[in-house]
Structure 1
Amino acid sequence: MDNIAALIFKNQRAQIDKLLRFGFQKRGNQFVSQAPIDNQAFTLTVTVTLPNTVLTELTDNETQQPYTLHLNPNNTGEFVAQVRTAYTTALQTIADQCFETDVFQTAQAHLLIETCRQNYGDELEFLWQKFPDNAIWRRSDTKKWYALLMKISKRKLGLDSDELVTITDFRLTDKQREQLIDNQTYFPGYHMNKQHWFTVILDGSVPDADLLKFLQTSYELAH
């Protein structure tokens, strides 16, 4: 993926129904779109492999050869800039119409997102512009937070690794505080009051069923 496409489709997830409505054609496990841009001087081919791999090819319709000058930011001529703008606009349109924001891409993060949506009618809230990988859920009635999703380094949890992981914070009962916290699977609440919150990594180390129980308890504690 080139830098322009990588920036546009970062933290995005393709939606099959939207791709098809846009005009993408399904070819095996991929979805392909071909369309003219820049007054039909070029043909843009976009190939999407689910969930979010996007490959592009720009073809000069006069020479029938691939065109790549627009991908080099050091090329600043007027014509190249015009092509770059048309290319960027076309990709942004596809992102807006065929993709959804997907900052947290683990299966367990998706499970929690869908459960909060279906059970409580709540969507993630991204409150901090400087921290786009941090989000919260709050109850619609009390406005209190009941869970968080974040991307952090394992080292911030006291583990000997710089691996970036998705974590969630839940509210904590006194009984859970005594039984759960082991600093291996269950951690004191990251960036929250450690007396009232705990953290788990969404990597399968905690079973889905337990996550959903913790979520329900946390929701109830936010009364």
Structure 2
Amino acid sequence: MIKDLFLGYKIHEQNLEIYGFHKKENRYEMTKAVLAGDFLLSIAIQDGGVAVEILDAETKESYAPFWVSHLTGSYIGHVREEVMNILLEIRAACFQQENFLYPQTQRMLEQIAIHYQGQLEYLWERLGAQTAYPTGAFRHQESKKWYGVLMTIDWAKLDPQKEGKIELLTLKHDAVPVLLKKEGYYPAYHMNKKYWISVPLNDRLSDQEVWKLMEKSYTLTR
């Protein structure tokens, strides 16, 4: 839900005013129209927290049905979808994820941003499906083809002998059978196992090894 949407994200204050927030004392505020102006989305950011309120545009009263999860239907569904899209846009423009489980994950994202101007895109998020560790893809800027997928999964889905969670980078490669004979490489998770490979970002493979895989995937998917 919305309360989890910004978990593990750090605010970039310099981006808030660029996006359109107005600073009032020690907080940033913004109001946006929703559903052709039928509702107002009020967003307040203060001390690292994000407060969201949905108002009826005519009465200026809180639209309580928005928060009642068992209330469904096309109308309220459209309201929730538009609100979520606005919040995801704000998160992408004004926040940076910092809750990665392993330092190698952050290092790889920094390298991708430097070399390919790539950012992790959260393509599958919808209301009710957000987590503190969402799944995202890296895409070529022009073709929009994927060259990498980052996700957090249970270790046991890769190795029944392991527990806890692991951050996994899935990349395209032209020598998958050869790589799978080595330690630290796994069959692609939720991708075509013939052409893709998954590697945990827990420093089992060096940054140089992972980056070499990234370069190969970037080239193969152009």
The TM-score normalised by the length of structure 1 is: 0.57
Structure 1 residue 92 corresponds to structure 2 residue 89: no
Instruction: Give % identity.
Output: 25
User: Contact 1:124 / 1:137 at 8 angstroms: preserved in 2?
Assistant: yes
Q: Which structure 1 segments of 5+ residues have no match?
A: 1-5, 20-34, 38-87
Matches within 5 A, 1:89-168: 90=46, 91-92=49-50, 100-129=96-125, 130=129, 132=131, 133-168=134-169
Describe the SS at the equivalent of 1:100.
Answer: strand
The equivalent residue for 2:217 is 218
Partner of 2:173: 172
Distance 2:106 2:26 in 1: 35
Corresponding letter in the other structure for 1:12: Y
* Alignment-derived partner of residue 12 in structure 1: 9
Which segments of structure 1 move beyond 4 Å, counting only runs of 4 or more? 6-9, 96-99
Alpha-carbon spacing, 1:183–1:159, altered in 2? closer, same or farther (3 Å) = farther
Distance 1:8 1:135, change over 3 A: closer
| Cα distance in 1, alignment partners of residues 97 and 213 from structure 2 | 25
Alpha-carbon displacement from aligned partner over 1:41-86 (angstroms, at most 9, x marks no partner): xxxxxxxxxxxxxxxxxxxxxxxxxxxxxxxxxxxxxxxxxxxxxx
The correspondence of residues 30-69 of structure 1 with structure 2, limited to 5 A, is: none
Contact 1:142 1:222 (8 Å CA) reproduced: no
- CA shift for structure 1 position 122: 1.6
Q: CA RMSD in A?
A: 3.3
Using the alignment, how far apart are the partners of 1:99 and 1:186 within structure 2? 32
The one-letter code matched in structure 2 to 1:11 is G
1 CA distance for matches of 2:120 and 2:94? Answer: 20
Deviation at 1:107, TM superposition (A): 1.7
Matched residue count: 151
Q: Secondary structure at the match of 2:170?
A: strand
- The one-character-per-residue Cα deviations of 1:154-173 (angstroms, maximum 9, x if unpaired) are 11113322311111001011
**CA gap 1:131/1:191 in 2 versus in 1, 3 angstroms:** farther
Q: TM-score, normalised by structure 2?
A: 0.57
Task: State the partner residue of 2:32.
Answer: none
Segments of structure 2 that go 5 or more residues without pairing to the other structure are 15-24, 28-43, 52-90
CA distance in 2, matches of 1:131, 1:183: 34
Q: Which has the larger radius of gyration?
A: 1
Query: Contact 1:153–1:163 (CA<8 Å) still a contact in 2?
Result: yes
Q: CA deviation at 1:8?
A: 7.5
1:207 aligns with 2:206: yes
Aligned residue for 1:74? none
Contact 2:4-2:130 at 8 Å conserved across structures: no
Task: Give the match's secondary structure for 1:92.
Answer: strand
Question: Once the two structures are superposed, what CA deviation does each residue of 1:88-113 show, in whole Å capped at 9, x if it has no partner?
Answer: 863327xx899533353422111221
Bigger CA drift: 100-109 or 200-209? 100-109
